[in-house]
Amino acid sequence: MLPGEFIISKKPHEVTTLLGSCVAVCLFSRSAQFGGMNHYMLPSSATGERHAKYGDYAIQTIVRFMERGAGSLKGAEAMVFGGANVVGAIISGAQIGIKNVETARNMLKEYHIPITKEVVGGNTGLKIRYQTWDNQVAYRYIERSQFAETMLAKEAHLQQNKIKVLVVDDSALVRSLLIKAMEQEPDIEVVGQAGDAFEAREKLLEKNPDVITLDIIMPKMDGVSFLKKLMVYYPKPVIIVSTIAKAGSKVQLRADQIGAVDVIDKESLNLYQGLDKVKSVLLPKIRQAARTIVKKRDKDEINGI
């Protein structure tokens, strides 16, 4: 589960997430025997934005769905995880973990839902695995490895900033449609667009995007060649969006092997039939890519791919 997401269902699900200063509330109905979990980043929105990355809205939402599914909140109980002080040295929002935990405690108290377990605070990230059907949870602290530090730094960055996206495609119309699908999202900002790899390189250095969407068939340099250069010299999360990137194709396999975080067949987006399909497919992948650590590749390692 990513920050800003939640699940509550009578069907059994095992949910795993990584927490730094973020908080996850696990909610369970003893009477109806089902549960759910959220993962939020901030206590509330200063502008009143209704989004599950904010604790007040995230908790209200899973409580409302539980009440609807169980008929009442009788027998409901909660567990609270996360809220560590892992971002104080990275951003100015120190104590944000404490505020996230306070939001959970205060809102659950308002709903008269008891908290049966808390694993909160500290200076170390947490990985939890929750079973919605029996309220069982397993957790472990994340070792302060370079990988964990990078993951937590990404989380801290995204708590305070929108996901910056660079759109690279030789078709001005396609670029326009992709940008329209993203421009109304509160957590995503398109910081640039480019019609070829050379223009994309300049935008990349200027804007430092978090995610790049990349076409393959382009003038001057094809997308696969540009992807190789990115992975060697300037690794970034890249989502390939191309008409020749069919599922199971050689192009898809090559892109995966070189280091693309995802590959989308452009035809599957139904670009010219409205933006609903584009949003449902592309936006979750953008959010996932922004939280992906991309490994720098050796030139000789990928030359033969």
In order of their start, the domains of the chain are 5-160 (3.30.1330.200), 163-302 (3.40.50.2300)
Strands (E), the chain: 5-9, 14-19, 23-29, 34-39, 76-82, 115-120, 126-131, 137-141, 163-168, 188-194, 211-214, 238-242, 262-265
Q: What is the mean pLDDT of each run of 10 residues along the chain (305 residues)?
A: 88 91 95 96 80 91 96 96 68 69 97 97 88 94 64 70 94 96 92 96 94 95 95 94 89 90 91 90 89 83 82
- In our burial notation (b when 16+ CB lie closer than 10 A, e otherwise), range 126-158 reads bebebbbeebebebeebeeeeebeebbbbbbbb
The predicted pLDDT at position 295 comes to 81
* Start-to-end CA span in the chain (Å): 32
The predicted pLDDT at position 88 comes to 45
**How far is residue 10's CA from residue 282's CA, in Å, rounded to a whole number?**
28
The predicted pLDDT at position 190 comes to 97
Of 212, 234, 90, 204, the residue nearest 157 (C-alpha) = 90
3-state secondary structure of 210: coil
Q: Are 111 and 73 in contact (CB under 8 A)?
A: yes
Enumerate residues 6+ apart whose C-beta is below 8 A from 28: 34, 35, 76, 77, 78, 79, 132, 135
**How far is residue 227's CA from residue 219's CA, in Å, rounded to a whole number?**
14
**Residue 168 — φ and ψ, nearest 5°?**
-120, 115
Enumerate residues 6+ apart whose C-beta is below 8 A from 69: 8, 10, 29, 32, 34
Other Cβ atoms within 10 Å of 239 Cβ, number: 20
**How far is residue 3's CA from residue 141's CA, in Å, rounded to a whole number?**
18
**How far is residue 208's CA from residue 178's CA, in Å, rounded to a whole number?**
19
Q: Are 236 and 204 in contact (CB under 8 A)?
A: yes
The predicted pLDDT at position 42 comes to 85
DSSP 65-97: HHHHHHSSSTTEEEEEEE--S-STTTSS-TTHH
The predicted pLDDT at position 304 comes to 80
The predicted pLDDT at position 152 comes to 65
The predicted pLDDT at position 147 comes to 55
The predicted pLDDT at position 293 comes to 78
The predicted pLDDT at position 166 comes to 97
Q: 4: phi > 0 → left, psi -120 to 50 → alpha, else beta; which?
A: left
